[in-house]
């Protein structure tokens, strides 16, 4: 294990984080389970990449079939991607009728923030103070954990408000969150940046998955729209 840690540090750099004080060396996955080098089995409650389970046979067959046929980008006419977009948007509200396909969550959020600026003409973005959205220069400003900040001066356009915490503040409702939001919007307006968007994960997963009642977010959504901004939902 120590040899692998030293090799990883040398090849990937010293700042790539690992889970757990005693890192787990995973070698195999199947369904909801992961196995380490000692044969210990772990229930995977974390990974947000293999949504259909590790080594799902149908996914393996589909990936293999496509890789053996064609692997390219979307600047050619490709019927498969249109079929997929039709099936995807059919599961959503009628107003969501088109899709932008990206490679990573960082890229998706970066595009969403650029769209917010394009639609509103403003640059001010609000996020909660305990979340993560990605690693681009723009999106990294959303995460308070990304310190020291190296953001090409973009940090001036961002404000952070307290994340909901149903454990420490069980009686704090959506009105308190909306009031924090109003104050942040006012601060952005006073600074001359204006207000473009609030970006959140509706389940606040990175903030600890607080237990929030139905309708909790409604007042904040009204505040966003009354201020002329967009509500961006980043939910994997």
How much is the pLDDT for 19? 86
Parse the chain into domains and list their residue ranges: 1-71, 72-101, 105-233
> What is the mean pLDDT for each group of 10 consecutive residues in the chain (236 residues)?
93 89 93 95 83 92 95 92 95 93 93 97 96 89 72 91 91 92 98 98 88 93 98 87
Task: Indicate the pTM of the whole model.
Answer: 0.86
CA 53 from chain centre, in angstroms, equals 20
**What architecture is the 1-71 domain classified under in CATH?**
Alpha-Beta Complex (3.90)
Own/partner contacts of 60-69, CB < 8 Å, gap of 24 or more, are none
Neighbours of 157 (CB within 10 A): 20
Q: Are 212 and 164 in contact (CB under 8 A)?
A: yes
Span 105-233: which CATH code? 3.40.640.10
Q: Give the DSSP letter of residue 232.
A: E
Ranges of H-type helices in the chain: 2-12, 57-67, 79-89, 105-120, 174-191, 218-226
How much is the pLDDT for 209? 86
CA geometry: angle 201, 203, 204, nearest 5 deg: 60
- Find tokens 């294990």 and name the residue: 1
């Amino acid at each position: 294990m120590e040899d692998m840690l030293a090799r990883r540090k040398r090849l990937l750099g010293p700042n790539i984080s690992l889970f757990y004080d005693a890192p787990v060396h995973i070698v195999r996955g199947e369904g909801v389970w992961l196995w380490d080098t000692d044969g210990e089995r772990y229930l995977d409650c974390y990974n947000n990449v293999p949504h259909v389970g590790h080594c799902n046979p149908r996914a393996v067959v589909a990936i293999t079939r496509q890789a053996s046929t064609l692997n390219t980008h979307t600047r050619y006419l490709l019927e498969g991607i249109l079929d997929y977009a039709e099936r995807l948007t059919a599961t959503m509200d009628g107003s969501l009728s088109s899709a932008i396909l990206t490679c990573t969550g960082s890229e998706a959020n970066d595009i969403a923030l650029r769209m917010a600026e394009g639609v509103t003409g403003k640059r001010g973005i609000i996020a909660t103070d305990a979340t993560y959205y990605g690693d681009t220069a723009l999106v990294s400003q959303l995460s308070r954990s990304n310190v020291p900040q190296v953001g090409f001066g973009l940090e001036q356009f961002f404000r952070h408000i307290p994340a909901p915490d149903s454990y420490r503040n069980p009686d704090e409702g959506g009105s308190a969150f909306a009031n924090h939001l109003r104050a942040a919007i006012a601060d952005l307006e006073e600074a001359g940046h204006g207000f473009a968007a609030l970006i959140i994960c509706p389940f606040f997963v990175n903030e600890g998955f607080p237990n929030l009642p139905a309708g909790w977010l409604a007042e904040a959504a009204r505040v966003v729209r009354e201020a002329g901004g967009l509500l961006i939902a980043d939910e994997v």
